[in-house]
């Protein structure tokens, strides 16, 4: 007898397998990120179909075989209907899903990550949600995911010499693990200068709950540096992990 496992999950990806099957990547509340095979799910008669669309929240049940997990039940909980109606929102959801794909390798249960993912989709789905806050939803997810995975940058003292930082003379180096002082910057030639306003935004994102962080007003001039710092940080983590 196989044990049946039940959990809530958010469907992140599906790929056709053979004539009637599909392999799903699901981020689950109880088991973290898993791959589960939907046998015969592309047949019209399959009762599993209705719960297994991308970005659905569903209660799923599966059995663990020798090599893979097989889906045995899927009950739709939430379609996130409003999210589906907006292309910009869908884009953010895909980017969030891409981060989970690229940064999570093992099947570790991490309830904080589940909460972050659910919160991101619920925010995107909220009818009252303003499109101009889309970037903030994404950055909030990214930096807090980084935090949960143990890659969070140092945002207070200098990451190298631990000295206090002087405003206007701060630099950010992903290689050194966060902010660094001018002396260390000159010595290591690593990183680039960073606007103190960007540091403030990052601190709020990393320390505050979403209701507080969602009130951040991002000035136009800060959009580009925020985007660059996230991209640089992400590429650094991905490259470093590939080397190991
Ligand atoms: Zn220093």
State yes or no: pLDDT of 242 exceeds 70.
no
Structure tokens of 201? Answer: 């935004």
State yes or no: pLDDT of 243 exceeds 70.
no
The CATH code for residues 4-78 is: 2.40.50.140
Q: What is the pLDDT of residue 71?
A: 97
Q: Distance (Å, rounded) from C-alpha 141 to C-alpha 155?
A: 18
Quote the ligand 1 centre to 179 CA distance (angstroms). 9
Q: What is the pLDDT of residue 11?
A: 97
Mean residue pLDDT of the chain comes to 92
Q: 């889309």: which residue's tokens?
A: 134
141 within 8 A of 121, measured Cβ to Cβ: no
Quote the ligand 1 centre to 157 CA distance (angstroms). 8
pLDDT, mean of residues 128-140: 86
Quote the ligand 1 centre to 159 CA distance (angstroms). 7
pLDDT, mean of residues 22-42: 95
SS3 state of residue 65: coil
Which DSSP category does 106 fall into? S
More confident residue, 179 or 127: 179
Q: 């709020």: which residue's tokens?
A: 204
Residue 194 phi, psi (nearest 5)? -135, 135
Quote the ligand 1 centre to 239 CA distance (angstroms). 25
Quote the ligand 1 centre to 178 CA distance (angstroms). 11
Q: What is the pLDDT of residue 240?
A: 79
Closest among 86, 89, 104, 26 to 61, alpha carbons compared: 26
Quote the ligand 1 centre to 227 CA distance (angstroms). 25
Q: What is the pLDDT of residue 52?
A: 95
State yes or no: pLDDT of 73 exceeds 90.
yes
Quote the ligand 1 centre to 174 CA distance (angstroms). 14
pLDDT in tens, 208-226: 999 999 999 999 999 999 9
pTM: 0.93
State yes or no: pLDDT of 172 exceeds 70.
yes
Angle at 62 between CA 58 and CA 63, to 5 degrees: 175
Closest among 123, 113, 232 to 171, alpha carbons compared: 232
13 within 8 A of 54, measured Cβ to Cβ: yes
Quote the ligand 1 centre to 193 CA distance (angstroms). 13
Quote the ligand 1 centre to 164 CA distance (angstroms). 8
Q: What is the pLDDT of residue 132?
A: 73
Q: 196-207 vs 220-243: helix axis angle to the nearest 10?
A: 70
Domains of the chain, residue spans: 4-78, 87-152+195-243
With cut-offs at 50, 70 and 90, classify the pLDDT of residue 244. Answer: very low
Q: What is the pLDDT of residue 239?
A: 86
Quote the ligand 1 centre to 173 CA distance (angstroms). 11
pLDDT in tens, 37-64: 999 999 988 999 889 999 999 999 999 9
Beta bridge partners of 16: 22
pLDDT in tens, 91-126: 999 999 999 999 988 777 788 999 999 999 999 999
Closest among 105, 98, 136 to 234, alpha carbons compared: 98
* CATH match of 87-152+195-243 with 2.60.120: no
Quote the ligand 1 centre to 182 CA distance (angstroms). 7
Q: Distance (Å, rounded) from C-alpha 181 to C-alpha 143?
A: 22
Quote the ligand 1 centre to 232 CA distance (angstroms). 21
Q: What is the pLDDT of residue 205?
A: 97
């Amino acid at each position: 007898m196989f044990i049946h496992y039940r959990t809530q999950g958010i469907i992140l990806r599906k790929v056709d397998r053979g004539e009637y099957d599909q392999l799903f990547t699901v981020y689950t509340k109880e088991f973290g990120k898993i791959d589960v095979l939907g046998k015969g799910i592309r047949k019209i008669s399959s009762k599993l179909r209705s719960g297994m669309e991308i970005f659905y929240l569903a209660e799923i049940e599966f059995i663990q075989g020798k090599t893979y997990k097989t889906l045995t039940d899927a009950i739709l909980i939430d379609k996130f209907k409003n999210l589906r109606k907006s292309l910009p929102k869908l884009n953010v959801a895909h980017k969030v899903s891409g981060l989970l794909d690229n940064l999570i390798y093992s099947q570790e249960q991490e309830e904080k990550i589940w909460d972050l993912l659910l919160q991101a989709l619920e925010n995107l789905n909220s009818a009252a949600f303003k499109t101009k806050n889309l970037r903030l939803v994404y950055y909030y997810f990214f930096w807090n995911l980084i935090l949960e995975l143990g890659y969070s940058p140092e945002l207070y003292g200098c990451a190298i010499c631990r000295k206090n930082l002087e405003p206007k003379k701060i630099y950010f180096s992903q290689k050194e693990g966060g902010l660094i002082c001018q002396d260390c910057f000159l010595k290591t030639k690593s990183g680039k200068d960073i606007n103190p306003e960007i540091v403030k935004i990052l601190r709020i994102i990393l320390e505050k709950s979403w209701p507080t962080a969602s009130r951040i007003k991002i000035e136009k001039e800060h959009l580009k540096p925020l985007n660059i710092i996230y991209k640089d940080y992400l590429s650094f983590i991905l490259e470093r992990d590939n080397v190991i």
